[in-house]
Structure 1
Amino acid sequence: MSVSGAEKVDIGGDVVGRDKIFITINYNYSGSDLAQAQELIERYLKWVIADCAPLQLRAIDYGAARPDQKPLGLTSVYVDLNTAFQIPARFKLADYIKLTEQGKTATLNEREELRLASALEVLAYEPYLVFLGKPGSGKSTLGLYLALTLAQAGLGQKDALQRLGAEWTHGPLLPVRVVLRQFAESLPAGLPKGRASHLWIFIADELQKCGLKERTGSLIQDIATKAGALFLLDGLDEAGDEIRRYRVLEAVSEFMRTAGEKSRFLLTARPYAWQSGILLAGIAHATYQLADFEPKQIQQFIARWYQAISAIGWVSESEASDKRLSLKDSVQREDLRPLAENPLLLTLMATLHTNRGRLPDDRVDLYNDVVELLLQRWNESTGTDRGLLDALQTPTLKLADVREVIEQVAFEAHAANIGREGTADIAETELLEAFRPLLGGSRDKATLVVEYIEKRAGLLLGQGVRGRVRQFTFPHRTFQEYLAAGYLIGQADFSDRAEKLATEAPAHWREVLVLAARRARSSVMPGLPAVHAAAGTACTTPAGVGVFGWRCLRSCYPELCDSGLWQLPRFIFWADLALSWLSPSSLPVRPHPAFGHLLPRGEGQIYPAPPRGSGFTPATQT
């Protein structure tokens, strides 16, 4: 398609065409109503742009949505994704694949520099493509970006196609985006086989629901058959249980074979859904895993973010410059770097940083903010879908109540996975039993909660079916440990539990107890046992104190000073130990007068030096 005489209106860096655009459809259209066809496709492309252009911040951070201000455009902040497929840096993807097909990879220098193949160059090369990615890896956003770019190109926006890279040689293909969860829901129960016709009917019906004319669907099918289209099939993992996904894949498989020789296809899914998909439907197409953000991409996103919000007037140029540098420094923190590698969590941190001035210095406060925002994703209304609390219709139920259950689930999952790295798998049955007491014993409502967890990336993520039971996990071990800490400090026997955990499996519970100590700082009495338990009080001599013990002690020092319980024998040793090494300038608070006689130690110091990484600075010897 080509366009002439286009007027444009800017939306946060993206462009929407106005009514005076004229489109020439470059295929052998057999109908006599060319003008009507032009109008229908023009309206369709403008609808695609309006749907995809604004960055959907409300679904990420409710506080970041600014309905009274100009919206932030997707293309102004989008950063190209990489796949996990490594190729020699000197090769283009197409050339390297041809070389491997000829069996010549053995001649490559084993020491030569490698790079990750970008998602866009893979898209340009593979006509039938599957992208697999973790929750928050940017799968859906990539689909929105592609649909937006091709729609803008179809309406004549100059340079739009350049955003797809030099490897894209397929022109402004008509973009057709399908949310597979919605398609799955449209299929009748007991359907014996999924067919391509079901998908075409769904596309036509959805366009009508969005206010486009009835004939739009059949016209898109005609264009795809004769001139080609790019079909963006998003979220196979959200298409229900295995049987329903089977029907969806049957329909998609036939659709790919019959939708037009010039058409191209991109299907996205979490890995678990595609593994079962291969077995069920036998679809054998090019499959690539999306990679986490590299440091360069993280820095690029931050730069583009603050440039974009400055350009639309959310902040001044000077404020944007200061905040950009601040956030770039913040994501270098050891506790934030792993989170920033996930595009969703990085965007979430950027919204927090923008709207609240800075990221909290204390990682516990930051984790709390992130947890609250991820919880809110379950409670947002999206289209015809109601928020979780509205759907449950349970009087007095709050998100805080849901959070308490999630904290219990996190603690129990962490306890069941001692000695294992990464996040724990949580069976659907465990979630149902955990939520039922909160919901008056209703299994139906507990099932509804699990369905929301499955559909919306948040604090828990669906992992597919294993052993005939759906499995879930946390997006990062950090969240599992932080939430487990929340459950621990809420228990009446917190002191005894913490001491037992520190004694039985100190390495496994280290971060949980450190986080518990920090979270308990707002409540002195519950926090004090963490000084004793989390600092490793199973040790009877100072020599037994490791990095873990010193870090916990540093975290809890303010509570120890302010509690009035510092005189108890069980705390005197730890106070003496801490103050023998802490210089006044490195103390979390000013030294408490009660410990003045301990500052500083002289040359006859009797305690061992804290290990590196403990956060303690020795007092200056005089």
Structure 2
Amino acid sequence: NKADLPGAENAWTVLLGDPGSGKTTFINYLTYLSVTQPTALPAPLANLLPVRLILREAAARHIASNATRGTAQMLWAALQDDIAVRLGDVAAQRLLPYLQERLLNDGGLVLLDGLDEVPEAQQRRKTLLEAVQELAGTLPHDKSRILVTARPYAYADPRWHLNGFSILALAPFSEDQVDRFIMRWYQTVRGSMGWNLDTARDKGKRLYRVLKERPYLADLASRPLLLTLMATLHSSWGQLPEDRADLYEETVKLLLGRWQRAREVKGPSGELVVEPGITQTLRVGEERLRAALEALAYAVHDRQRQEAARDGEPADISEGEVLVAFRALLRNLDPDSLLHYLKDRAGLLIARRNGVYTFPHRSFQEYLAACHLANQPQFAERLQQLLDEDPRWWQEVFLLGVGKARQGGLSNAVSLISVLLPEDPEDIGGGELTEKHLRAAALVGMALIELRLIDKAERHPIYEAIIRRARKWLLRIVEGGHLPASERAEIGDALGRLGDPRFDPDFLFLPRQYQGQPEPFWGFVEVPAGPFVMGTRRRSAGALPEEGGGQKKLDIPYTYWIARYPVTVAQFRAFIQAGGYDSPDVWTKEGWAWRTGEWDRHVDEGALLDW
């Protein structure tokens, strides 16, 4: 937000953001705009001389391990060194005095990236903060703007806070920003992919539609790193995997790849050092590394279940839990080597604050927990036991576990589902349906939809049988009023997608049966004249959020007919296909006025209220 950038109120600012949230990209983009399009920046930043430094490199080369105090001269030396790398030593020696004079007299936009990447060891971070503080004090306050970036954990301790600096956090992407990112992504990669402008634009629109059609992707897409991974998959494959489990599997592989790539970094004396990937450092294969991550995900997900605050965030993971999970891989390796990767690489575990880590999103925690269970003996039985203990908590793990099982073949996934729902409702011993039975049936319905089994069941008797069984269970829940109303609404939707037997596809999808008996009036019920109570009691258990307004007693003086169910999508489609949407003959006068957008001009207020 332009209003939040360093301006009159926030001349000095620390910008916080998780790994992959775009801190460095933001710094680079500000630098780019300052040089090429200064008028695109907020007024306080426009036409300021930009200076960008990477703090990790500045600390490595210009803060000695025995330094007792940080000074502005350390950062000036780092700036000269940065110029020398690009323009040579002679140019740097000539240019630095000019830059110093400009900045000290006219101010500038000083961009300092990566405070969190400066190690705490040997007081380097403390010394660097002192250097930043002294530099800020030497620049003209009314003409200068300073922006320092850091991960939240590195700035959580008040000891590291810079005096006089305000704190901002990078917000997740909005829908408009997601759309712009996707369009610009495809315009950027189209050259390497051999696409023309129209093809790139069309592919971007397709990815955006997919994100809108799959609600579970919306939160992932708001995070720049995860959106980048999805865009990478989509542009490489031509589409995102249709199954959630497949999408998470491919994304996990990409994130593991970030950990495993070697990279060049500057050592304590400024020399270039090749830092190996994590599998090389641990001297283990990717399979064992992943198994440790999966075991960790399951352990913390199980532990989080027992905590008072069970929100939608991934669990906080202590260093101790991480080291226990990786204990077999560390052997004689210093544990700090592992923790270094977690802090400095944006992989499958990220540092949330000092000594605390987390998965980049709750869904990755749940998917990896499902993978851990899938690799254990008696996977189905263990998953059923967990669902018996806490069905709502383990729901996503179950659904992703079904998707994981499908990666080994559709029959594996169907077998897993069959363990959870082994018989029809009428065959339950004693005839009593417990909440455990009902919730298991609801989960099976969701799993069948995620597998899209309805599209694959034709001429497969086993698949057809499990779908018929699921329909019976879901119908029993909906018609029997079991489970809270909000859950029944989801179950009714699942039943519709699996083929609701109550509705006749050969007769406008109108109801043909209710509780096993024929519907004599296609789902319409006659209501006699008299009083009725409208609404739901306040704070009633199972009420939908919009139903909390309380009850009101009304008296209807005439007999009327009302449909047992709201109009379904299939019914409305049949209505449109028959021409009803465009035919005034099947609308009331008031309804047709509304349909054509003319009701406010042709219907008086009294008639509208009566209607």
Pick the TM interval, shorter chain: 0.5 to 0.7
User: Residues of 2 paired with 1:163 and 1:413: CA distance?
Assistant: 45
After superposing the two structures, state which structure 1 stretch, 189-198 or 453-462, moved more.
Answer: 189-198
Identify, as 1 or 2, the structure richer in helix: 2
Q: Deviations over 1:175-220 (max 9, x none)?
A: 2222223334443334322222222223323333445324144443
| Structure 2 residue 30 is matched with structure 1 residue 146 | yes
Among 133, 138, 152, the residue aligned to 1:253: 133
| Structure 2 residue 408 is matched with structure 1 residue 518 | no
Task: Look up the SS of the partner of 2:288 in the other structure.
Answer: helix
Q: Deviations over 1:456-511 (max 9, x none)?
A: 2221111222xxxx111111111111111111111124234212211212222111
- Alignment-derived partner of residue 593 in structure 1: 461
How many residues in Structure 1 have an aligned counterpart in Structure 2?
Answer: 463
Q: 1:358 Cα shift? A: 0.6
- Alignment-derived partner of residue 163 in structure 2: 283
| Structure 2 residue 358 is matched with structure 1 residue 473 | yes
- Alignment-derived partner of residue 574 in structure 1: none
User: Residues of 2 paired with 1:498 and 1:472: CA distance?
Assistant: 26
Q: 1:619 Cα shift? A: 4.3
User: Residues of 1 paired with 2:465 and 2:413: CA distance?
Assistant: 25
User: Residues of 1 paired with 2:23 and 2:440: CA distance?
Assistant: 38
Opposite residue 442 of structure 2, the aligned amino acid is W
- Alignment-derived partner of residue 133 in structure 1: 17
- Alignment-derived partner of residue 303 in structure 1: 183
Structure number with the bigger relative contact order (C-alpha 8 A, sep ≥ 6) is: 1
User: Residues of 2 paired with 1:353 and 1:232: CA distance?
Assistant: 33
- Alignment-derived partner of residue 388 in structure 2: 503
- Alignment-derived partner of residue 81 in structure 2: 205
Among 49, 61, 69, the residue aligned to 1:193: 69
Label 1:490 to 1:219 Cα distance change in 2 as closer, same or farther (>3 A): farther
- Alignment-derived partner of residue 11 in structure 1: none
- Alignment-derived partner of residue 531 in structure 1: 417
User: Residues of 1 paired with 2:299 and 2:189: CA distance?
Assistant: 42
| Structure 2 residue 203 is matched with structure 1 residue 319 | no
User: Residues of 2 paired with 1:404 and 1:205: CA distance?
Assistant: 44
| Structure 2 residue 38 is matched with structure 1 residue 161 | yes
Q: 1:169 Cα shift? A: 4.7
Does the CA-based 8 Å contact 2:445-2:474 persist in structure 1?
Answer: no
- Alignment-derived partner of residue 52 in structure 1: none
User: Residues of 2 paired with 1:547 and 1:326: CA distance?
Assistant: 35
Opposite residue 208 of structure 1, the aligned amino acid is A
Opposite residue 26 of structure 2, the aligned amino acid is L
Q: 1:171 Cα shift? A: 4.2
Q: Deviations over 1:431-469 (max 9, x none)?
A: 223224124x1232x42222112012221111222xxxx
**TM score, norm. by length of structure 1:** 0.66
| Structure 2 residue 295 is matched with structure 1 residue 408 | yes
- Mapping 1:368-517, distance limit 5 Å: 368-384=249-265, 386=274, 388-389=276-277, 392-393=280-281, 397-418=284-305, 419=307, 420-421=310-311, 422-439=313-330, 441-444=331-334, 446-465=335-354, 470-517=355-402
User: Residues of 1 paired with 2:186 and 2:403: CA distance?
Assistant: 32
Q: Deviations over 1:26-85 (max 9, x none)?
A: xxxxxxxxxxxxxxxxxxxxxxxxxxxxxxxxxxxxxxxxxxxxxxxxxxxxxxxx3xxx
Answer with 1 or 2: which has the greater Rg. Answer: 2
Among 117, 120, 131, the residue aligned to 1:241: 120
Label 1:245 to 1:318 Cα distance change in 2 as closer, same or farther (>3 A): same
Task: Look up the SS of the partner of 1:178 in the other structure.
Answer: strand
Label 1:231 to 1:546 Cα distance change in 2 as closer, same or farther (>3 A): farther
| RMSD of equivalent CA atoms | 3.5
Does the CA-based 8 Å contact 1:236-1:268 persist in structure 2?
Answer: yes
Task: Look up the SS of the partner of 1:331 in the other structure.
Answer: helix
Label 1:461 to 1:619 Cα distance change in 2 as closer, same or farther (>3 A): same
Opposite residue 592 of structure 1, the aligned amino acid is H
Q: Deviations over 1:107-143 (max 9, x none)?
A: xxxxxxxxxx6555x5576321222223322211110
| Structure 2 residue 59 is matched with structure 1 residue 174 | no
Q: Deviations over 1:498-546 (max 9, x none)?
A: 1221121222211112111210123368756742566699x96656345
Opposite residue 130 of structure 2, the aligned amino acid is E
| Structure 2 residue 502 is matched with structure 1 residue 613 | no
User: Residues of 1 paired with 2:322 and 2:219: CA distance?
Assistant: 27
Task: Look up the SS of the partner of 1:443 in the other structure.
Answer: coil
Does the CA-based 8 Å contact 2:22-2:224 persist in structure 1?
Answer: yes
User: Residues of 1 paired with 2:192 and 2:47: CA distance?
Assistant: 28
Does the CA-based 8 Å contact 2:294-2:368 persist in structure 1?
Answer: yes
User: Residues of 2 paired with 1:472 and 1:491: CA distance?
Assistant: 25
User: Residues of 1 paired with 2:228 and 2:25: CA distance?
Assistant: 12
Q: 1:232 Cα shift? A: 0.8
- Mapping 1:11-26, distance limit 5 Å: none
Does the CA-based 8 Å contact 2:438-2:473 persist in structure 1?
Answer: no
